[in-house]
Amino acid sequence: MERTSCLNKRMYDISRYAEFVEIILIALGIFLVPIIIPQILSAVFGATSSIATNSQYVVGTLVNSSLIVAGVNVKGWKKIISLVTLPSLSALSSGLVLKTGSVYTLYMIPAIWLGNFAIIWLYKKLFVEKKFNYILASVAGIAAKVALIFAGYNLLVLTNIIPKGSKVATALYTAMGMNQLVTAILGSILAFAIFKTLYKKESK
């Protein structure tokens, strides 16, 4: 099945060594960015600065760009699944999303995984396999990711797993809605710049 799956295709031809380095860098970036970036921003700009308190935008942009790069140029469903799970685990361990409300982030993890997989799969299916325009693939991938994650949030609110009207619900509403949309858009722009700068286009 993997031979014909879009998950086993990539856009740019690179050597096995370069592919290995690419995967390691993407994995480290996805996992370490949510832990390191907020600390760096706090140290440089101050913990109470607007940049430090809104570090999720920087983190989300970098993570989404890494996911999109993976979607375009990492082959194999095992590698993809591994990369899909890393951002939420890292954000959870660092307490980035909700600080003391991380227990509720646990409930969001399945939706986050589905959203991350959706954006990767759609880039592979539309941009890599079907040769759609990058912008069209981006719109589809971003829309699917945001819709799945926000639907997961709403399901948890409707079932009262996340208390309605609570501070946690309000924080998650923003984190799983607008923040996801903004950082996915910025991530797609950054990923496009990476493709233009680092890769030679050769469909494979």
Domain range annotation of the chain: 6-198
In angstroms, the CA 191 to CA 73 distance is: 11
Q: Give the model confidence (pLDDT) of 55-66 as tens digits.
A: 889 989 999 999
pLDDT at 181: 96
Show the tokens assigned to 72. Answer: 């375009």
C-alpha to C-alpha distance for 74 and 5, rounded to whole angstroms: 13
* Single pTM value for the model: 0.85
Burial of 103 (0-12, 13-18, 19+ CB in 10 A): exposed
Residue 168 and residue 111: Cα distance in Å, rounded? 17
Per residue of the chain (204 residues), give pLDDT as tens: 445 688 888 888 877 888 888 888 888 877 788 778 888 988 988 888 888 888 889 989 999 999 999 889 888 888 898 888 887 776 666 554 444 445 777 888 899 999 999 999 999 999 999 999 999 999 999 999 999 999 999 999 999 999 888 888 888 898 899 999 999 999 999 999 999 887 755 444
